Chains A and B, each alone.
Chain A
Amino acid sequence: MKRKTVDATLLRLLVGAGLLVFGFAAGLAPLPWLSPVIFALGLLLTGYDVLWNALRGILRGQLLDETFLMSVAAIGAFCIGEYAEGMAVMLFYQVGEYFQARAVRRSRAAIRSLMDIAPDCGFVLRDGKPVEIPADQIAVGDTLLLRPGDRVPVDCTVKEGSATVNTAALTGESLPLDALPGTPLLAGFVIGDGTLWATADKPASASSAVRILELVQEATDRKSKQESFITSFARVYTPIVVGLAVCVAFLPPLVLWDASLLTDWIRRALMFLVVSCPCALVISVPLAFFGGIGAGAARGILFKGGYSFDRLSKAKVAVFDKTGTLTTGCLAVTEVLPREGTDRETLLRLAAGAEQFSTHPGARAICREMPDAPQPTQVKEVAGKGVVSRLDGCEVAVGNRRLMQELGAAVPPDADGIFVSRDGIYLGAIVLGDTLRPEAPASLAELKRLGVEKAVMLTGDRASAAEEVARALGIDEMEAELLPRDKYDSLERILAEGKPTLYVGDGINDAPVLARADVGVAMGGIGSDSAIEAADLVLMADSLSRLPTAIRIARKTLSISRINIILALGVKTLVMALSALGLLNFAGGMWVAVFADVGVALLAVLNSLRTLRSARRD
């Protein structure tokens, strides 16, 4: 239906263009009355809807909208005998509108397709057999079958199987996720190799993908400074230019008291009217921000609104929370301390084997360190103490000192960590700790290159642990052993220096700090509503590398929209100056004015679409 209307418009414009040429030809023939008639027909054909909308606007008391201005310009040209130009104004205006509408539709579709990540169908087990059903009919608790290449239809949790999962559609993160039983999956993730059985956690309508789309749409309602400037500018621009047009038309002939000058000066004034529409700006500037928001979303970056572009692009000081932001916040093996006679490998293998089925974070950390550990034949979890498993015919225990004491294994008094014993004999300890995010050093260096002058770390952790992290990352300033309340005060002190400051945290216990910073950045924000609420920017991937990308998208968006403002205002001012001076008073001068209006609008729209492309480049 939509397609049909578009094509009808195109046909109309082509016929209009034909009439324009025909009108010129008729002017050459010895039939002087014919060409004005043809031009008038052409005007009605190409512009009847514009004229009609303008008329209704007038009846509603809404003057000075673009349809009104174009109608006055076209009819005005007819009144002073410039039939061809009168029709041309309307034709070109409509051609411009047509392309502009197409460009807007395309960009809208492009942003939507970036967001359209969850599939419409999924396979669900019914009586043990996989059945394909629409995603919105999948019920919470259904068992999903996910095979290589499948996209996850609804948010779910892995029940059985293991696979690598590509999360890029939501997080922009290229590193695959290893999905094991218990791993939560979000709609839109793509299964790599491996097959998974998963339990649906949410109906399709409540999936994170839908929530993200809603947030992106809400974000487009929150304006940036440039957008608000343009809106208020548009409000004064048109009346001023129309006022100028009236002055240009009537003042000089009045002052010189020569009615024969009227035609010439009205002609100049009509050009003013043609360029008096601020459409190039009111369309292209918001469109650039739509593109930027869309591009961000495709890379796992959620801008909360146009305003976050302004602030982010200017950031000079970056303040980081430590745990979970600069470090992974999840446990990893930092030291393996086998006792004499045992080696590192054996100790890890035994511990990982024994802990194979435990969901304790420490156990998961050990298993990650030794992925192909032997399978235990028997496992017994001892609550609050550890786990005792049968492995290769031996009894292997992994746990705390109390467990070791129970089993009679002698742990050295000064040892620390998680202890491992085999058949009641102590074998060594494994120390777990927080580790640096692998991408942190590169991301921080990148931020500095992008103009961030100072990196600050705030943490509640011990000073010694914090110093180590700060040194490894080249942090300029740090404050350790802070209570959550202290972080807020520290940030206040940094803000008092007067430099635009961004704060990066996980948003779980530092929401007030996120909200207080010039730009609050919540990391790994998927699913955490409090973080999304407090932050200006949400990095959906749990990865710092998105932050420099976000800054780049913000700067590109702002510069594109700035170019549009300069281009549009520059060209319009030029045309107004030229026409007032009478330099456009040659045949076809009006066309220059039409180009300055619709041509520039079209160029600006096309330029705005470039923001979308930052989605594909890093």
Chain B
Amino acid sequence: MTYKYIVTGLDCPNCAKKLCALVEKIEGVESARLNFLSEEMTVESTLDAATLGKAVVQAGRDFSTKVTVVAK
């Protein structure tokens, strides 16, 4: 399944890449892509929306206090 999230508070494309790497470490996530321009993160995962959402939001929080993730 494909899920989309809006990620705000990222200032550089490099940080976007690092956050994706973090999200990809979540068990059940196949891939994560974050478009810096649209602030949209696309996650391919076998998890259900609620479980994944919680994990992704937590990943954002772990990554930096400046970053917020919300489901689209």
Which residues of A approach B to under 8 Å, CB–CB? 2, 49, 52-53, 56, 60, 62, 65, 67, 97, 100-101, 104, 108, 111-112, 216-218, 220-221, 231, 234, 279, 282-283, 286, 290
Q: Mark B8-25, 1 if CB is under 8 A from A, else 0.
A: 100111100110000000
- In the complex, chain B residues 1-45 whose Cβ is within 8 Å of any chain A Cβ: 8, 11-14, 17-18, 33, 35-40
Q: Which of B12, B35, B38 has the most CB of A within 10 A?
A: B12
CA of A49 to CA of B67, assembled, Å: 12
Known: A111-B37, A217-B37, A290-B37. A282 touches B65 (CB 8 A): no
Nearest CB to that of A278 among chain B residues?
B14
B16, chain A: closest CB distance, angstroms: 9
B72 interface contact, C-beta 8 A: no
> Which residue of the partner chain, among B11, B14, B33, B39, contacts A101 with CB atoms under 8 Å?
B11
B64 interface contact, C-beta 8 A: yes
Residues of A within 8 A of B11 (CB): 97, 100-101, 104, 283
Known: A56-B62, A60-B62. A220 touches B14 (CB 8 A): no
Could you list 6 examples of A-B contacts with CB < 8 Å?
A52-B65, A97-B11, A101-B11, A217-B35, A282-B12, A283-B13
Q: Is the CB of B14 within 8 A of A283?
A: yes
Q: Which 7 A-B pairs have the closest CB atoms?
A: A282-B14, A283-B12, A286-B13, A220-B37, A49-B65, A101-B11, A217-B38
> Which residue of the partner chain, among B8, B13, B40, B62, contacts A282 with CB atoms under 8 Å?
B13
CA of A67 to CA of B12, assembled, Å: 14
CA of A220 to CA of B36, assembled, Å: 8
A514, chain B: closest CB distance, angstroms: 25
Q: Is the CB of B65 within 8 A of A53?
A: yes
Residues of A within 8 A of B39 (CB): 108
Known: A49-B65, A52-B65, A56-B62. A108 touches B37 (CB 8 A): yes
Nearest CB to that of B66 among chain A residues?
A49
Known: A217-B38, A220-B37, A286-B36. A53 touches B13 (CB 8 A): no
Q: Is the CB of B12 within 8 A of A279?
A: yes
Q: Is the CB of A220 within 8 A of B35?
A: yes
CA of A53 to CA of B64, assembled, Å: 6
Residues of A within 8 A of B35 (CB): 217-218, 220-221
A487, chain B: closest CB distance, angstroms: 36
CA of A283 to CA of B13, assembled, Å: 7
Nearest CB to that of B21 among chain A residues?
A62
CA of A67 to CA of B18, assembled, Å: 14
A294, chain B: closest CB distance, angstroms: 8
Q: Mark B44-62, 1 if CB is under 8 A from A, else 0.
A: 0000000000000000001
Nearest CB to that of B25 among chain A residues?
A60
Residues of B within 8 A of A216 (CB): 37
CA of A112 to CA of B39, assembled, Å: 11
Size band of the B side of the interface? 10 to 19
Q: Which of B8, B40, B65 has the most CB of A within 10 A?
A: B65
Residues of A within 8 A of B33 (CB): 221
A155, chain B: closest CB distance, angstroms: 21
CA of A427 to CA of B14, assembled, Å: 72
Residues of B within 8 A of A221 (CB): 33, 35
Residues of A within 8 A of B36 (CB): 220, 286, 290
Nearest CB to that of B64 among chain A residues?
A53
Residues of A within 8 A of B13 (CB): 282-283, 286
A362, chain B: closest CB distance, angstroms: 45
Residues of A within 8 A of B64 (CB): 53, 67
Residues of B within 8 A of A104 (CB): 11-12
Known: A56-B62, A234-B14, A282-B14. A2 touches B38 (CB 8 A): no
CA of A100 to CA of B13, assembled, Å: 13
B4, chain A: closest CB distance, angstroms: 12
Nearest CB to that of B61 among chain A residues?
A56
A551, chain B: closest CB distance, angstroms: 23
Residues of B within 8 A of A56 (CB): 62
Residues of B within 8 A of A60 (CB): 62
Residues of B within 8 A of A283 (CB): 11-14
A224, chain B: closest CB distance, angstroms: 12
Nearest CB to that of A279 among chain B residues?
B12
Residues of B within 8 A of A218 (CB): 35
CA of A286 to CA of B16, assembled, Å: 12
CA of A104 to CA of B17, assembled, Å: 16
Residues of B within 8 A of A111 (CB): 37
Residues of B within 8 A of A108 (CB): 37, 39
Nearest CB to that of A283 among chain B residues?
B12
Nearest CB to that of A103 among chain B residues?
B11
- In addition to A52-B65, A220-B35, 6 A-B residue pairs with Cβ atoms within 8 Å of each other are A49-B66, A108-B37, A282-B12, A283-B12, A286-B36, A290-B37
Q: Is the CB of B62 within 8 A of A231?
A: no
Q: Which of B11, B33, B62 has the most CB of A within 10 A?
A: B11
A615, chain B: closest CB distance, angstroms: 15
B38, chain A: closest CB distance, angstroms: 5
CA of A445 to CA of B14, assembled, Å: 41
Residues of B within 8 A of A112 (CB): 37
CA of A2 to CA of B65, assembled, Å: 14
CA of A97 to CA of B9, assembled, Å: 12
Nearest CB to that of B12 among chain A residues?
A283
Residues of B within 8 A of A65 (CB): 18
CA of A221 to CA of B20, assembled, Å: 13
CA of A65 to CA of B35, assembled, Å: 21
Nearest CB to that of B22 among chain A residues?
A60
A55, chain B: closest CB distance, angstroms: 11
CA of A2 to CA of B40, assembled, Å: 17
Residues of A within 8 A of B66 (CB): 49
A25, chain B: closest CB distance, angstroms: 31
CA of A251 to CA of B9, assembled, Å: 40
Q: Is the CB of A2 within 8 A of B37?
A: no
Nearest CB to that of B33 among chain A residues?
A221
Q: Which of B18, B33, B40, B64 has the most CB of A within 10 A?
A: B64
B35, chain A: closest CB distance, angstroms: 5
